[in-house]
Amino acid sequence: MRIWIALLALAAPAAAFAAGPEHVSLASHVFVERVKPGPGGKPVTVREAPGIVTPGDRLIFELDYRNVGAEPATGFTITDPIPASVAFTGGESENALFSVDGGRSWGPLGSLRVAGPNGASRPATPADVTHVKWAFARPIPAGAAGSVSFRGVVK
Amino acid sequence: MWRPELIGLTMTRTKRLLASASVLAVAAFAASPASAAGTAAGSTITNTVTVDFKVGTVSQTQQSASDSFTVDRKINLTVSEIGSATTSVSPGQTAVVTAFSVTNASNATLDFALAATQLVGGTAAHGGTDNFNVSNVKMYVDTDNNGTFNAGDTQVTYLDQVAADASITVFVVADVPLGRSTGDVADVRLTATAAEATTAGTLGATVTQTVGANTAAMDTVFADTATTNGNVALDGAAFADDDYTVLAAALTATKTSKIISDPINGSTNPKMIPGAVVEYCIAVSNAAGSAAATSVNISDTLPAQTLFVAGSIKVNATVSGTTCSGGAAGGSYAAGPPAVVSGTLGTINPGASSGFVFQVSVN
């Protein structure tokens, strides 16, 4: 419910600013991923709006973007902090960078380490991720659109 | 099963571990709203994404988008029996205890309505066949949290304000009827049903699932699971069984007599003539595999033609076959009529015997 309100709120200004100084329109979505019995009893995975959501449910966070300006957007960087009640579980769009320290340092997940007890450190796991970031090397041409997503689970 | 004298120490230690674990859990809670039961029901999860970009070489105003949803209430609870063995009881024993643990695995504080019921027939929790019911069944919460049923515990009909992830020990306390035999089994079942924790000190309404479409506010779904002991999934209730198994004493008494002396032959080949002294041996044996018998009272009416030999009663005599030897002076004699000798034997362990001895002279 709430998400649709949020979407409407987002959609309205995006449309209003499409011809104005606004260059980029964004729409953020959350889906709940459920496995349900499908035709012939075979389980199928479906995406649903976040209706009933309880701990343990699998989520997909998705951001749709569109360059609604007349010029290419360069240095295009999407930063997405993982909500506190969500554990990152991977499934991210390619070329993502991660932070496990609240956004201070970034890198591929395999390169990150987390301080453990007694001053030792261990390799970071998906559950340690606090932020995901996509920094696009190429400009987003005027009129171009795309989306990025990642998966998480409700703690 | 639950045997305070055997596992009281272990239980205490476990409780201590649990207590320190709770402290850790609280610390973790402070750092993050999540716990084992999960994010608290009613929490809002908001995801805010920011986008930075340039047009030409000029950094533009950061843009952001966000969405939110409410974490709904997941009702999950478990009831488990503590100890995984039957509780051994004696016929007529009062306040026999079985212990259960009720855990709120929901992501919200709840009340739990409690009910203690009994099987009628069928397989009991620990394998025997239920064949009797205990009486005067009551439920107590382990108020002092020491894992042992004692005077500090409170009789309850529901659990009040059980926090998410909390486990409460509930004792089911009952009386065993007299006349039950070794191996008789009574099964008791503790059922907990989720109720609203609306007001402290009052059992709230039974929790119901949200009917129909999801609402933006907090909804309620049942998430309890089915178990092999018959728990039904998704009903907002859970139960566990435990049982009492009777271990009775199985006593048999055998009375024998022998002539000690007569006035003519003395103690050499004495004959049953007037004036002869006869010794009676009442041998009491307790069958192997039974409960130890304590305070075994013996009472015997003397035949009219006999006269009690003063000071001849001996208790706790050694029994060999059906003959008694030794024993300690004791018991008492009432002249009557009818004349009666009586006494109390010490504890008779399973497989053991004890004798009651007295002498009379023949008129």
Hey, what amino acid is at B164? A
Number of domains observed in the structure of chain A? 1
Which class for B278: exposed (0-12), middle (13-18), buried (19 or more C-beta within 10 A)? Answer: buried
Best residue in A3, A8, A25, A28 for a mutation probing chain B (most B CBs within 10 Å): A28
Residue of B nearest to A27 (CA): B65
Residue of A nearest to B60 (CA): A23
Of A77, A81, A84, the CB nearest to B53: A77
**ipTM exceeding 0.90, yes/no:** no
What would the mean pLDDT of B19-43 be, rounded to a whole number? 53
CA distance B173 to B160: 19
| Choice between B220 and B36, residue whose per-residue pLDDT is larger | B220
| CA B27 to the chain's CA centroid | 35
Residue of A nearest to B74 (CA): A54
Judged by CB atoms closer than 8 Å, whether chains meet at B53 and A79 is answered as: no
CA distance A57 to A50: 10
Q: Where are the domains of chain B?
A: 4-18+73-246, 251-362
| CA A22 to the chain's CA centroid | 22
The alpha carbon of residue B84 is apart from the nearest alpha carbon of chain A, in Å, by 30
Q: List Cα–Cα distances, B76 to A35, B99, B112, B191, B262, in angstroms.
A: 20, 20, 11, 13, 83
What would the mean pLDDT of B114-123 be, rounded to a whole number? 93
| Choice between A56 and A8, residue whose per-residue pLDDT is larger | A56
DSSP of B228-288: TTSPPTTSSEEEEEEEEEE----EEEEEEEEEEEBTTTBTSS----TT-EEEEEEEEEE-T
The pLDDT confidence band at residue B36, using thresholds 50, 70 and 90, is low
| H or E element in which residue A147 lies | strand A145-154
* Structure confidence at residue B329 (pLDDT): 87
The answer to whether the CB of B33 falls within 8 A of the CB of B39 is: yes
The answer to whether the CB of B170 falls within 8 A of the CB of B102 is: yes
Q: Does the predicted TM-score (pTM) go above 0.95?
A: no
The answer to whether residue B339 scores a pLDDT higher than 50 is: yes
Q: Which of A11-15, B60-64, B123-127, B329-333 has the lowest mean pLDDT?
A: A11-15
The answer to whether the CB of A133 falls within 8 A of the CB of A97 is: yes
Q: Which of B137, B231, B136, B248 is nearest to B188 (CA)?
A: B137
Of A142-146, B251-255, B359-363, the range with the highest mean pLDDT is A142-146
Q: Which residues of B touch A (CB under 8 A)?
A: 32-34, 37-39, 41, 43, 45-56, 59-60, 63-74, 107, 210, 213-216, 219, 221, 223
| H or E element in which residue B308 lies | strand B306-308
Residue of A nearest to B32 (CA): A84
| Letter string b/e over residues B82-94, b meaning 16 or more CB atoms within 10 A of that residue's CB | bbeebbebbbebe
Q: How far apart are the first and last CA of chain A?
A: 21
Length of chain A: 155
Of A3, A24, A69, the CB nearest to B51: A24
Judged by CB atoms closer than 8 Å, whether chains meet at A84 and B33 is answered as: yes
Q: Which domain holds residue A30?
A: 2-154
Residue ranges with strand state E in B28-118: 44-55, 58-59, 63-70, 73-75, 77-81, 87-89, 96-104, 110-118
CATH 2.60.40.740 fits B251-362, yes or no: yes
Judged by CB atoms closer than 8 Å, whether chains meet at B49 and A28 is answered as: yes
Q: List Cα–Cα distances, B285 to B93, B320, B345, in angstroms.
A: 22, 11, 11
The answer to whether residue B103 scores a pLDDT higher than 50 is: yes
The pLDDT confidence band at residue B51, using thresholds 50, 70 and 90, is very high
The answer to whether residue A93 scores a pLDDT higher than 90 is: no
Helix, strand or coil, per DSSP, at residue A67: strand
CATH number of the domain encompassing residue A79: 2.60.40
CA distance B247 to A84: 56
The answer to whether residue A89 scores a pLDDT higher than 70 is: yes
Judged by CB atoms closer than 8 Å, whether chains meet at A10 and B63 is answered as: no
The pLDDT confidence band at residue A154, using thresholds 50, 70 and 90, is very high
Widest CA span in chain A: 57
The answer to whether the CB of B53 falls within 8 A of the CB of A75 is: yes
| Residue B250 CB neighbour total at 10 angstroms | 16
- Taking only the tens place, the pLDDT of each residue in B198-209 is 999 999 999 999
What would the mean pLDDT of B251-277 be, rounded to a whole number? 87
Judged by CB atoms closer than 8 Å, whether chains meet at A79 and B59 is answered as: no
* Structure confidence at residue B35 (pLDDT): 53
| Fold: same for B4-18+73-246 and B251-362 | yes
Query: Which residue(s) pair with A123 in the sheet?
Result: A113
| Arch. (CATH architecture) of B4-18+73-246 | Sandwich (2.60)
| Residue B29 CB neighbour total at 10 angstroms | 14
The alpha carbon of residue A43 is apart from the nearest alpha carbon of chain B, in Å, by 20
Percentage, residues of chain A above pLDDT 70: 86
* Structure confidence at residue B191 (pLDDT): 96
Task: Write down the mean pLDDT value for chain B.
Answer: 86
* Structure confidence at residue A118 (pLDDT): 83
